[in-house]
C-alpha cells in the first residue's frame, strides 16, 4: 500500500539518487533469471557442439542475472549524483505496469509454447514485448518481430539442430 506522496520516492545512498521502483524491478528480474537458470538444469544441457534444449535457457537466465545485477549495482558504484533532467524520466507508475505485463506475457508464452510451437510463440512474444517497451508503430513492430522469429528459428533449429516444438503450424 502506498501512502500519499510515496510513489516514485527516491532515496539517496552513497551520494546517488536511486529510485526504489527501479531497484525492485532489477531484483525481480534477477530472481526471474535465477529461476530460469535453475529450471534449465532439469533439461539436458549438452555441449557447445551439440547443445541440448536446456543450454539456451541456462545462458539466458545467467545473462538476465548479470544484466539486472549490474543495473541494480550501477547507481551504488557511481561517484556523482546525477539529477534527472526535466521531462526525460519515465513515469514511475509505468514501471509496475510494465513489469506485470512482461511477467504475464512470459507466463502466457510458457503455458502455450508447446501448443503454438516455437515460431508462432517467438513472433507473438516479440510483438507483445515491443508493445510493452513502448514501440507503438506497427510498421516497425511487425517486421522486427517477424525477422526476429525467423532468424532465431533458423539459428536454433537449422544451425544448432535444437529440436523445438512445431505446434499446430508444423514448421
Per-residue pLDDT tens over the stretch 138-164: 888 999 999 998 998 888 888 888 888
**Residue environment code for 128-160, b if the CB has 16+ CB neighbours within 10 A, otherwise e:** bbbebeeeeeeeebeeebeebbeebbeebbeee
Q: Which domain holds residue 27?
A: 9-84
Asked, for residue 1, whether it belongs to a domain, the answer is no
Number of domains in the chain: 2
pLDDT digits (tens, 9 = 90+) for 31-80: 999 999 999 899 888 888 888 888 888 999 899 999 888 888 877 766 54
Residues 73, 122 share a domain: no
Find, among 66, 67, 60, 14, the residue nearest to 37 by Cα: 60
Q: What is the pTM of this model?
A: 0.49
Asked, for residue 166, whether it belongs to a domain, the answer is yes
Residues 166, 137 share a domain: yes
Amino acid at each position: 500500500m502506498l501512502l500519499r506522496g510515496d510513489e516514485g520516492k527516491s532515496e539517496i545512498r552513497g551520494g546517488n539518487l536511486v529510485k526504489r521502483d527501479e531497484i525492485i524491478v532489477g531484483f525481480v528480474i534477477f530472481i526471474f533469471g535465477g529461476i530460469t537458470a535453475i529450471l534449465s538444469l532439469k533439461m539436458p544441457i549438452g555441449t557447445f557442439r551439440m547443445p541440448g534444449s536446456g543450454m539456451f535457457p541456462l545462458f539466458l537466465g545467467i545473462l538476465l542475472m548479470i544484466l539486472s545485477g549490474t543495473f541494480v549495482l550501477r547507481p551504488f558504484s557511481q561517484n556523482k549524483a546525477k539529477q534527472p533532467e526535466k521531462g526525460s524520466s519515465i513515469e514511475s507508475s509505468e514501471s509496475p505496469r510494465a513489469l506485470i505485463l512482461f511477467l504475464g506475457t512470459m507466463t502466457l508464452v510458457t503455458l502455450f509454447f508447446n501448443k503454438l510451437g516455437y515460431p508462432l510463440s517467438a513472433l507473438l512474444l516479440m510483438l507483445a514485448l515491443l508493445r510493452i517497451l513502448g514501440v507503438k508503430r506497427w510498421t516497425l513492430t511487425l517486421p522486427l518481430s517477424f525477422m526476429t522469429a525467423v532468424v532465431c528459428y533458423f539459428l536454433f533449429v537449422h544451425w544448432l539442430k535444437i529440436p523445438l516444438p512445431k505446434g499446430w503450424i508444423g514448421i
